[in-house]
Amino acid sequence: MTGFEVLKTQFPAELRAMIGDVAARETTFGFSRVRAFRLDDGRYLKIADQPVAGSQRDLQPEAARLAWLRGRLPVPDLLYFDDQPGRQIMLITEIPGIASFNARFEGHEQQIITVLAEGLRLIHGVDVTACPFDQRLDVMIPAARRRMSAGQVDETDFDAVRQRRTAQSLYDELIATRPAETDLVLVHGDYCMPNILIDPDTRALTGFIDWGSAGVADRYLDLALAARSITYNWGAAWVAPFFAAYGLPNVDAGKIAYYQLLDEFA
């Protein structure tokens, strides 16, 4: 038996029936601190062992958001979710396409940057009147403090500009420099290039993945993480074209810096 077949014997009967005899291979692409398997029929299975509520090892937030987002945006369909003692399991459909930073898009950077900007406007245009997920600073800052107090903030993984600083010093800065939240929208919460999928032939947007941090927040949360991801993957020169394509002529650099700082606690 393969490793996946052995693992499958531990699944609830309902899930085993849904998977059937389909083979799978483990992948870490596009997922954070969970085990992920791509089934040969295109579905994805995520497994969080010993999940920690509110951490990146907690699948419940994404499952709830995918259920709410169905029909609103091009996101994976939630097929199955189970929260067992010591293990969470989620089965979702595949979004076609490849990650927006893929080397196949070399020479088409401006077009992809425009697609990234249009995709973000699509998310930010969703009506949040009935959105049950709150990612405003009154929620995010206490969550950051809880993760810091629990030792879940990796100080060795800070961005280069914050290397050799402590989590406590970053938290103090969060409190001291908190901006006003003046433009609340639905945010993806992790709008980075690996999470935006694009058709490799037409270079059209196909959808978005990894929704565990979505909710109502200032649009700058997404803009800040998008800017950082674009810089990391393609260089800082592409950030201004992204903002221009999004329709943001006057960028609040302070908010960009603040939400990148906040993400150190994710």
Residue that the structure tokens 């799978």 belong to: 24
pTM exceeds 0.85, yes or no:
yes
Is 134 a residue of the active site?
A: no
Do 195 and 229 lie in one domain? The reply is yes
Residue 188 has pLDDT above 60, yes or no: yes
Do 110 and 180 lie in one domain? The reply is yes
pLDDT tens-digit profile of 46-66?
A: 999 988 887 778 999 999 999
- Among 67, 92, 117, identify where a domain stops: 92
Do 35 and 118 lie in one domain? The reply is no
Provide the pLDDT for residue 28: 67
Residue 109 has pLDDT above 90, yes or no: yes
Provide the pLDDT for residue 27: 86
For residue 138, what are the domain limits?
Answer: 98-265
The CATH number for 243's domain is 3.90.1200.10
The CATH number for 23's domain is 3.30.200.20
Do 84 and 105 lie in one domain? The reply is no
- Among 68, 92, 116, identify where a domain stops: 92
Do 133 and 229 lie in one domain? The reply is yes
Do 22 and 121 lie in one domain? The reply is no
Do 256 and 129 lie in one domain? The reply is yes
Do 232 and 191 lie in one domain? The reply is yes
Residue 32 has pLDDT above 80, yes or no: no
Do 7 and 74 lie in one domain? The reply is yes
Do 81 and 104 lie in one domain? The reply is no
- Among 92, 118, 134, identify where a domain stops: 92
Active-site choice (190, 218, 222, 263): 190
Report how many domains make up the chain: 2
How far CA 166 is from CA of 112, 145, 175, in Å, comes to 36, 13, 15
